[in-house]
Structure 1
Amino acid sequence: MEMSAQHANAPYYFVPGPSRWPAAAGMSLLTLMLGASAWVNDASWGSYLTWAGLLGFLFVLYKWFGDAIGESESGMYNKRIDASYRWSMSWFIFSEIMFFGAFFGALFYARSISMPWLGDLDHKILWPDFAAHWGNVGPAGTVEAFTTMGPFWIPTINTALLLTSGVTLTLSHHALRENQRGKTAFWLAATVLLGAVFMGFQVYEYMHAYSDLNLKLTSGVYGSTFFLLTGFHGFHVTLGAIMLSVVLYRVMKGHFTADNHFAFEGAAWYWHFVDVVWLGLYVVVYWL
């Protein structure tokens, strides 16, 4: 976070005044959940309430983060606030690691424990036609036939895109530390663009899976784990691209200094985390 010279070593911990945004966020999320629940139960008004809650929540985020940015730019934050933000972002990323760890664990259990167990000699009596290989169609063909997704070529291209985006983001960070704003904005914009291209390829991959491979979310445990892992990762790429886009806007507005720019660093941590998760997905989902 950016700190003016007179506040950088202030002996206090900044505590913001009363805010309406926490209550507004709670109300918008409650509206969103009620609308979504009604929508999935075919209520005619559910979709309208869902969109109203979503738009309300986005508005709250815009205003709430705007207040935090204003406090930072006005010099209200000091090193204690900076440390607080760093610890908060670190724990947030740790929670994301646990989130993806649960899905990777589910994939491992289904593939390496349940599959051999269901295909052993004892279970041949129950399901004599069951084939204990990954991507099977279930006992007695309970799942429609489908083709598994291989690593070529879209997943491999996406891997190259994300690895390249990690390089461009690092170049942008080094440029910011050298106070070269033009290079910072250029490489940061390149990172956002690479993330957008990644998502475009993933949309195309999903269309190919549904139309050509008959691979769907309902395609047994393979389909559910494939779309959950890749889909949630895609959501995180989208979120990371939005974060970097906000940072890019702030760079162009003249925010940040060479020494104090944690908003940039926090978004970069998140983006590199997304890169690492994808490498794991690329190996265990597409290759193994």
Structure 2
Amino acid sequence: MSSQYAKVQSGAPYYFVPGPSRWPLLASVALLVTMAGASAWVNDLPWGAYVNIAGVLMVIAVLYKWFGDTIAESEGGLYSQRIDTSFRWSMSWFIFSEVMFFAAFFGALFYARSITMPWLGDLDHKLLWPDFSAHWGNTGPAGTVEPFQAMGPFPIPTINTALLLTSGVTITIAHHAIRAGERTKTALWLFATILLGATFIGFQAYEYMHAYSELNLKLTSGIYGSTFFLLTGFHGFHVTVGAIMLSVVLYRVLKGHFTPQQHFAFEGAAWYWHFVDVVWLGLYVVIYWL
């Protein structure tokens, strides 16, 4: 590893450009199959689910091989400091795109709650919907939504907040450990982070079952239900992706990859995990408390 790192740090006067790759084309085909299957599935076509699952498996296979090539190039000492800088910029812009993704859903929640709801409850609209109550968690102006109970912050959302905040601490400890060259300590704290993330997902799954079975809160429960499940569901998906990223990093740590000076894959996954933590804090306040 030291010789590889020396090669990376030698300041090679070139920017590594990989040869022609089939992975971008195969990734496009896999995504096309995935979305075609999803579209057919939501329209109740019998073959939609099978095509969607096949597409997802294709995406996983392509990502596995594509990232495998990238890891082999990195471990082979082909990446200079310029490549490292490119990766950092790429990850930064990717996380920014995720910020905009969640900003759109937060914006939809703000519009529905702070603009549309008071507008529907004003005096002019009382003639159309006299029974409509302009409080968040309502059943809609026409009363077409089944009665439900809103989700409160206790106990599961608060427990999940503590889990994610703790995971932010454990991943930071792991980062300091890898910078200090303490591989065993890095692996242990990485594993702790992954375990906390998995526990979060388990609690969220239980929360969803509780919402459907006991609160009658569903995705179809008006604008409250749709915004609740879209925001928390997409966040749970991002926690899952982050845990997978950290699991791959943990595997690489155990395989002897990375050095105290060269470990961007770890840092990129850690950035993503901290982003997931910050988004959850916003969700916890806006969804469960306000």
TM-score (norm 1): 0.97
Give 1:133's aligned amino acid: H
Q: Partner residue of 2:171?
A: 169
Percent of aligned pairs sharing the same letter: 77
Q: Larger deviation: 136-145 or 211-220?
A: 136-145
Q: Distance in 1 between matches of 2:61 and 2:262?
A: 27
1:3-42 alignment, distance < 5 Å:
4-8=5-9, 9-42=11-44
Give 2:183's aligned amino acid: R
Aligned-residue Cα RMSD (Å) equals 1.1
CA-to-aligned-CA distance 1:70-125 (integer Å, 9 cap, x gap): 00000000110000000000011111111111111111111111111111111111
Q: Partner residue of 2:160?
A: 158
Q: Distance in 2 between matches of 1:163 and 1:155?
A: 12
Q: Larger deviation: 188-197 or 102-111?
A: 102-111
1:1-288 alignment, distance < 5 Å:
4-8=5-9, 9-288=11-290
Q: Distance in 2 between matches of 1:62 and 1:205?
A: 32
Deviation at 1:40, TM superposition (A): 2.7
Q: Distance in 2 between matches of 1:33 and 1:60?
A: 16
TM-score (norm 2): 0.97
Deviation at 1:41, TM superposition (A): 2.9
Question: For 2:5, what is the secondary structure of its paired residue?
Answer: coil
Q: Distance in 1 between matches of 2:164 and 2:77?
A: 35
CA-to-aligned-CA distance 1:244-278 (integer Å, 9 cap, x gap): 00000000000000011000000000000000000
Question: For 1:130, what is the secondary structure of its paired residue?
Answer: coil
Residue correspondences, number: 287
Give 1:41's aligned amino acid: N
Q: Distance in 1 between matches of 2:115 and 2:210?
A: 30
Q: Distance in 2 between matches of 1:147 and 1:106?
A: 21
Deviation at 1:35, TM superposition (A): 2.0
Residue segments in structure 2 that go unaligned for 5+ positions in a row = none
Q: Residues 130 and 140 of structure 1 are in contact (CA less than 8 Å); yes or no, is this contact kept in structure 2?
A: yes
Alpha-carbon distance change, 280 to 69 in structure 1, aligned in 2, over 3 angstroms:
same
